[in-house]
Structures are given as C-alpha cells and as structure tokens.
Amino acid sequence: MSNIQELFQQAQLAEAAYANFGAIGGGIITDKNGIISALQVEDFSESQATAFANAWEVIDHAPNTAFGFSRSKVPESNSFLKKHARIDLN
C-alpha cells in the first residue's frame, strides 16, 4: 500500500470515528445498510459510506461516556488475518 493510500485509509477511519454505531435499544449496528446510514449522518457521501462498509466491519462500539469518550473496533472485511483499527475519541 502506498503512503497516499495509507493516509487516505487513516483519514477515513478518523472520520468514521465520529459515527454512532449504537443501535436503538442497545447493541451495535453491524449490518452494511446500518453502517452506511450511520456514516452518512456524519457527512460521508453515499459512495464513500458504501466503500467504507464494504471494506470494514463494525464489531464493537462504546458510545460517548460522560467524559466524551467513545470507541469503535473495525477490522478490515477482506483481510484473511483481520487487521483491527480501534478508533477512539475523547
């Protein structure tokens, strides 16, 4: 992967960190349509959100705490040994 591709990937993960992947009533959003919708709320375009949802999965999410901390764990979908990215906000 080139440096430009790596920077683009890191920028998308940073932007996705602002998405709320928490499901109504508890749990997390893990289906592609739900991920796309959550990303579009955070100003991803439809094509950008779809590309992200095709490349990454949401396997864990902790919504904002009283201190403003939130966390999502998103491994690459197409990787044999999944590379995990943990995106934290505080």
Question: H/E element holding 53?
Answer: helix 46-55
User: How far apart, in whole angstroms, are the C-alpha atoms of residue 72 and residue 62?
Assistant: 6
Residue 31 has pLDDT above 60, yes or no: yes
Residue 37's Cβ-count burial label (10 Å; 0-12, 13-18, 19+) is middle
Own/partner contacts of 19-25, CB < 8 Å, gap of 24 or more, are: 19/72, 20/63, 20/70, 21/58, 21/61, 21/72, 22/61, 22/63
At 70 the pLDDT is: 67
Indicate the pLDDT class of residue 19, thresholds 50, 70 and 90.
confident
Find, among 33, 25, 23, the residue nearest to 72 by Cα: 23
How many domains is the chain built from? 1
pTM > 0.75: yes or no: no
Domain around 39: 3-89
Confidence band of 23 (pLDDT split at 50, 70, 90): confident
What's the pLDDT at 48? 93
Q: Give pLDDT tens digits for 43-88.
A: 999 999 999 898 888 877 777 667 766 666 666 665 543 444 555 5
pLDDT at 67: 72
